[in-house]
Amino acid sequence: MVSGVLYRLLSAGGVVVLTALSVFVSNLTTVQNLTTSAIPIFNRLTSTVLSGPNLWLAALVSTAVVLASLAPMFKPRPRRLLDTALLVQQRVVVAGFALAAIGYFDYTYRLPRSTLILSMGLLLLVLPLWFVAIRRAPNAADERAVIIGDDYSQIEDILQETDANILGYVSPPSPYDVDEQVGEARVLSTDGGTGVDVESVPHLGGLSRLDDLLVRYDVDTAYLALRLSDRAEFFGALKVCSDHGVRAKAHRNHVDSVLFDSDENTTIVDVDLTPWDWQEYAVKRLFDVAFAGTALFVLSPVIVLISVAIKATSPGPIFYSQKRTAEFGGDFEVYKFRSMIPDAEAETGAKLSEEDAGGVDPRVTSVGRVLRKTHLDEIPQLWSILVGDMSVVGPRPERPELDADIQEEVSEWQKRWFVKPGLTGLAQINDASSTRPEEKIRYDLAYIRQQSFWFDVKIVIRQLWGVGVDVVELVRDGSDD
């Protein structure tokens, strides 16, 4: 595999040259005549040949569009050969549709239909071959690698399993603890007692400098060996690696199975920095924006009525906000309609409401009880979806302090951080709350592994149906009283 700056130059340069060549070749009268005679369907297209400035301008625009579409491929990420070919073809198709949209208008730089179809057909063949050709497997001796972490038992395991050229380690704010001093060499004792010679793995700097270090040393691979990292450190390191196209690896025994292919038979495994295709993310984001925007507009009269009811029945603000855990280690501010008395946690501190377990919480107001029963208290979270802090579907975000407590009881709880938190989720439609974390995490992990646009749609439909049932029951209970 060609790596670093050279890979970026080769990948982008190859796209420029091959795109321009495909346009010029497809524009040749001879090629279009041969195609028309060989493929009857081309008889229905008007064969137009560009020349002079119009041809150069069309080639320039086509190259720019294809470059923009293939931009994510310019990072030297580890992908299987078939995955690389398919991803390139998907992006060429996207570029083709974009150029077709440009061609719909009578611009001087548009490609004629026959030229467009021929050039995109050529690119579907040659660009995947080009990206596969420059993605050869690296020689271990040429692989430039760093270790990110401070767990020397993990580092020892990694050093024993890899032949890569380890340039040094990058550590979290707390540096290594030196257990022994042997001459001029620093030795860190491990559980096995063999020790790791730290002089062979020099300290390059802290995690705050990771961005800089990956560029300065032209790093190909980063090995994860974090001891007691928090969410921000772990996922922050992964994000920086992803941004620079650096492959992330770890010892199989020290990384979460959600992040690597369980079918891999090697001890050192590739950590999947982008486990879900960007197109799924794009579709999901479009759905989130459309859903949240429409819902806020439709529910605007309800929002006004709820605000008036809260103010009329209880002193205090209409909304309240809390910190919640976000995707990949961050926090964000979530908003709800206030359903409890002001300063409800002043004496008790952060705790789960008894209502989550089916009990009665004296802190909940009369209006708040209705809001919670009908889930209307969560309407303000539509704004969090609109700005991108949340998704419509995903694991429900917890408060960081409660998250930490639950994690001590449920070891797999942190796997929920691998996706953006949601307004609803598989756990919610199955009535699994944080009062039963073992059950809830099973549903959350099932969603993480199965997530897709249509799976999200099914969950949303079931949630809306459930809200409707709750509203009917509330009205029925009120009429019985």
State pLDDT tens for residues 257-296: 556 655 556 788 777 655 555 566 778 889 999 999 999 9
Determine the Cα–Cα distance for residues 95 and 449; give it in Å rounded to an integer: 30
Q: What mean pLDDT comes out for the span 131-160?
A: 75
* CA 279 – CA 287 distance, rounded (Å): 12
pLDDT exceeds 90 at position 224: no
pLDDT at 16 over 80: yes
Q: Which residues touch 265 (CB under 8 Å, ≥6 apart)?
A: none
Q: What is the pLDDT of residues 437-468, one digit of tens each?
A: 778 888 887 787 777 788 889 999 998 888 88
φ/ψ of 229, rounded to 5, equals: -70, 145
Confidence of residue 397 (pLDDT cuts 50, 70, 90): confident
Q: Which of 19-23, 154-158, 310-314 has the lowest mean pLDDT?
A: 154-158
Please report the domains of the chain, with CATH numbers, ordered by start residue: 4-133 (no CATH), 140-272 (3.40.50.720), 279-480 (no CATH)
% pLDDT > 70, the chain: 72
**Looking at residue 349, what is its pLDDT?**
52
Q: Is the pLDDT of residue 304 over 90?
A: yes
User: What integer pLDDT is reported at residue 461 of this predicted model?
Assistant: 92
Highest mean pLDDT: which range of 105-119, 189-203, 377-391, 420-434? 377-391
Q: 3-class DSSP state for residue 376?
A: helix
User: What's the count of helices (H) and strands (E) in the chain, helices before strands?
Assistant: 16, 13
Least confident of 6-15, 102-111, 146-155, 270-279: 270-279
pLDDT at 179: 41
Q: Long-range contacts: 312-321, Cβ < 8 Å, 24+?
A: 313/365, 313/366, 313/367, 314/338, 314/341, 314/342, 314/365, 314/367, 314/368, 315/342, 316/341, 316/342, 317/342, 319/380
Tell me the average pLDDT across 235-248: 77
Whole-angstrom distance between the N-terminal and C-terminal Cα of the chain?
A: 73
Other Cβ atoms within 10 Å of 43 Cβ, number = 10
Closest CA to 36 of 95, 117, 103: 117
Q: What is the mean pLDDT of residues 376-380?
A: 89
For residue 278, give the H/E element and its range. Answer: helix 278-298
Query: Tokens standing for 206?
Result: 């802290």
Let me know if 369 is exposed, middle or buried by CB neighbors in 10 A (0-12, 13-18, 19+): middle
Residues in the chain, overall count: 481
What pLDDT shows up at residue 192?
35
Measure the CA angle with vertex 372, ends 398 and 291; round to 5°.
70
Q: Is the pLDDT of residue 39 over 50?
A: yes
Residue 1 has pLDDT above 50, yes or no: no
Contact between 250 and 225 (Cβ < 8 Å): yes
Whether 214 contacts 222, CB under 8 Å:
yes
Band of the pLDDT at 410, cuts 50, 70, 90? low
pLDDT at 187 exceeding the cut of 70? no
Q: Across the chain, which distance is largest between two alpha carbons, in Å?
A: 85
User: Which pair of tokens denotes residue 340?
Assistant: 């409890």
What pLDDT digit, counting tens, does each position of 97-124 carry?
A: 888 888 777 666 677 777 888 888 899 9
pLDDT tier for residue 382 given thresholds of 50, 70 and 90: very high
* CA–CA gap between residue 343 and residue 232 (Å, rounded): 29
- As a whole number of angstroms, the distance between CA 237 and CA 259 comes to 14
User: What is the per-residue pLDDT for 411?
Assistant: 60
As a whole number, the mean pLDDT across the chain is: 76
